[in-house]
Chain A
Amino acid sequence: AQSVTQLDSQVPVFEEAPVELRCNYSSSVSVYLFWYVQYPNQGLQLLLKYLSGSTLVKGINGFEAEFNKSQTSFHLRKPSVHISDTAEYFCAVSEPYNQGGKLIFGQGTELSVKP
């Protein structure tokens, strides 16, 4: 069975500081990994995805993530955050399409950017 663990439930950071949101996954098969962002009272927006190939994935809004197979991690990073990055961030792993393909989410990390 697949699972996702987000290691920090809350991450406070000052504006223009770098940030890393940590995500570890467990899977016995090839994985597709995703980061979604949820702004207050809004839906889920895809930030970036890892499907195959280069382990460094770049997404929207200046975010990037690195897939590390040996450490089963997919940490999200941004070199300089803005107030507008304040949101809930979810890491997710996808079941193989031929097994239903549902997304399994981590518990979420609340990023709070302070001026």
Chain B
Amino acid sequence: AAGVIQSPRHLIKEKRETATLKCYPIPRHDTVYWYQQGPGQDPQFLISFYEKMQSDKGSIPDRFSAQQFSDYHSELNMSSLELGDSALYFCASSPIASPYNEQFFGPGTRLTVL
């Protein structure tokens, strides 16, 4: 079965650089969630999209932005990177009109900021 695809899997950047993380949801999933997991931490919700519109926003820095495109894939753009942005970034997708909100997670992108 198709799963959530995230690219790249690993990314190394310098401070103050920018990064773009991509997420391709499972086919026919219209909702995408982004989570950030710092070292030794639990995943924290960043932002979500439903039908290409932002549906909810969590503790996402102003330096970050995201969008969902017409093919439902999503991109998380991160600018002016800081050391503290080093983390594992997960994308999850949810089926159309799922009242139970079962989320399927991708393998994550590990971002290292030097």
Chain A contacts to B: CB under 8 angstroms: 32, 34, 36, 42-46, 49, 51, 90, 94-97, 99-108
B90, A101: Cβ atoms closer than 8 Å = no
Q: Mark B16-46, 1 if CB is under 8 A from A, else 0.
A: 0000000000000001010100000111110
Interface band, chain B: 20 to 34
A44, B33: Cβ atoms closer than 8 Å = no
Given A43-B105, A101-B31, A101-B56 in contact, is the A107-B99 Cβ separation under 8 Å? Answer: no
Nearest-Cβ distance from residue B111 to partner chain A, whole angstroms: 14
Q: Name the interface residues of B66-103: CB closer than 8 Å to any CB of A.
A: 90, 92, 94, 98-103
A100, B42: Cβ atoms closer than 8 Å = no
Q: Is B8 an interface residue when CB atoms closer than 8 A count as contact?
A: no
Chain B contacts to A: CB under 8 angstroms: 31, 33, 35, 41-45, 48, 55-56, 58, 90, 92, 94, 98-108
CA distance A90 to B44 in the complex (A): 12
Contacts of A34 in B (CB 8 A): 102
A-B contact number at CB 8 A:
64
Contacts of B44 in A (CB 8 A): 105
Contacts of A106 in B (CB 8 A): 42
B90, A43: Cβ atoms closer than 8 Å = yes
B100, A45: Cβ atoms closer than 8 Å = no
Given A43-B105, A44-B90, A46-B102 in contact, is the A102-B48 Cβ separation under 8 Å? Answer: yes
CA distance A100 to B92 in the complex (A): 13
Contacts of B101 in A (CB 8 A): 32, 94-97, 101, 103
Residue in contact with A100 in the complex, picked from B35, B48, B99, B104, CB distance below 8 Å: B48
Nearest-Cβ distance from residue A60 to partner chain B, whole angstroms: 14
CA distance A87 to B98 in the complex (A): 29
Contacts of A101 in B (CB 8 A): 31, 33, 48, 55-56, 94, 101
